[in-house]
């Protein structure tokens, strides 16, 4: 028998249709922005990205453990130099999504990346979770992060990836207010699309991500829980190759997300090297930053 407390609880199955439709329609995928052909007549676009979380993977939780902070420092100290060397070897431009606190801790890293032709995108202030923030705080942090990245790199960022792909009901409105070109946090398609807000086109390009094409789900480790990296690097490389093969067959976008502090280790960095070599063995490949892909899609869809 129901109690007064349970009767007053607001369960999703008790929502009126208008309410759940309003939730679903707040941010949706609109028209496809997949072009008929990619730049210079290429068949497939390849957008490789790195979420340079570094120390903020620990700081975001208010954790002060030097041990955990050192794992993040590895991303800047050992992994980024390896990544830069591989990208330089093959002439591949990439996008690095950087929390503002990381940029402040490692400013020379960001300047070097920009100097080598890579893109720096917004990735929060301190890797905070957007859905846990009051709207005013989310807005202030996103804008402050953009200002900080511009001050350090000399270039105003045009795109955003929310930390942990945590996209609140207010994120898109903030992104639109800032006049950003693109977001890369959502998962409604394999191909780029225009974001809708409350059913209306926004002009914001979505470059969709997916956990399948993210290294963290295969390699994360937490000594205080059952979370362990059970997937060998060879299997992850096989998955990434298969995702690229599908994009090449369909003439679409292959977008990859990696984390320096996760995949920058000796046994894993080979994934990046071998994957780029595999992709380069195919004809009709356009390697581009996220910003370049977004601009091309907006102009040619």
Q: Are 82 and 269 in contact (CB under 8 A)?
A: yes
Tokens encoding 10:
């607001």
Task: Quote the CATH superfamily of domain 25-300.
Answer: Glycoside hydrolase/deacetylase (3.20.20.370)
The CA distance from 92 to 258, in Å, is 15
Computed over every residue of the chain, the mean pLDDT equals 95
The whole-number pLDDT of residue 229 equals: 86
Chain-centre distance of CA 57, in angstroms?
15
The CA distance from 254 to 293, in Å, is 11
Using one digit for the tens of pLDDT, what is the confidence trace for 64-104?
A: 999 999 999 999 999 999 999 999 999 999 999 999 999 99
Which is more confident, 33 or 9?
A: 33
Q: Are 46 and 240 in contact (CB under 8 A)?
A: no
Percent of the chain surpassing pLDDT 70: 97
Torsions phi, psi for 254 (to 5 deg): -110, 110
Torsions phi, psi for 182 (to 5 deg): -150, 160
Percent of the chain surpassing pLDDT 90: 93
Q: Binning pLDDT at 50, 70 and 90, where does residue 8 land? A: low
Residues forming beta bridges with residue 49, ordered by sequence position:
95, 257
Phi-psi domain of 170 (left: phi exceeds 0; alpha: psi -120 through 50; beta: other) = alpha
Whole-Å CA distances, 284 to 44, 203, 256, 280, 281: 6, 28, 18, 9, 10
| DSSP H or E stretch at residue 296 | helix 290-300
User: Which residue in 207, 163, 197 sits closest to 295, CA to CA?
Assistant: 207
The whole-number pLDDT of residue 9 equals: 65
pLDDT exceeds 50 at position 294: yes
- Structural domain spans, the chain: 25-300
Q: How many residues does the chain have?
A: 301
């Amino acid at each position: 028998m129901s109690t007064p407390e349970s009767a007053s609880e607001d369960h999703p199955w008790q929502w009126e249709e208008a309410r759940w439709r309003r939730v679903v329609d707040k941010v949706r995928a609109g028209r496809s922005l997949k072009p008929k052909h990619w730049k210079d007549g290429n068949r497939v676009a390849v957008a490789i990205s790195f979420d340079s979380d570094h120390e903020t993977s620990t700081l975001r939780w208010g954790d002060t453990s030097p041990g955990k902070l050192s794992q993040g420092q590895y991303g800047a100290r050992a992994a980024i130099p390896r990544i830069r060397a591989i990208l330089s070897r093959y002439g591949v431009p990439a996008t690095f999504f950087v929390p503002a606190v990381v940029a402040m801790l490692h400013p020379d890293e960001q300047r070097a990346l920009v100097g080598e032709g890579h893109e720096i995108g917004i990735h929060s202030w301190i890797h905070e979770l957007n859905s846990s923030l009051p709207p005013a705080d989310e807005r202030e942090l996103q804008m402050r992060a953009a200002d900080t990245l511009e001050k350090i790199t000399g270039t105003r960022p045009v795109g955003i990836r929310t930390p942990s792909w945590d996209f609140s009901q207010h994120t898109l409105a903030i992104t639109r207010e800032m006049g950003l070109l693109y977001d890369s946090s959502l998962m409604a398609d394999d191909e780029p699309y225009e974001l809708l807000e409350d059913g209306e086109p926004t002009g914001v390009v979505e470059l969709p991500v997916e956990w399948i094409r993210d290294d963290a789900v295969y390699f994360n480790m937490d000594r205080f829980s059952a979370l362990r990296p059970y997937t060998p690097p060879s299997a992850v490389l096989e998955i990434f190759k298969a995702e690229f093969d599908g994009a090449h067959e369909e003439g679409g976008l292959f977008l990859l997300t990696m984390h320096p502090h996760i995949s920058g280790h000796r046994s894993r960095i080979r994934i990046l090297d071998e994957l780029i070599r595999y992709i380069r063995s195919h004809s009709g490949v356009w390697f581009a930053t996220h910003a370049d892909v977004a601009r091309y899609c907006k102009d040619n869809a």
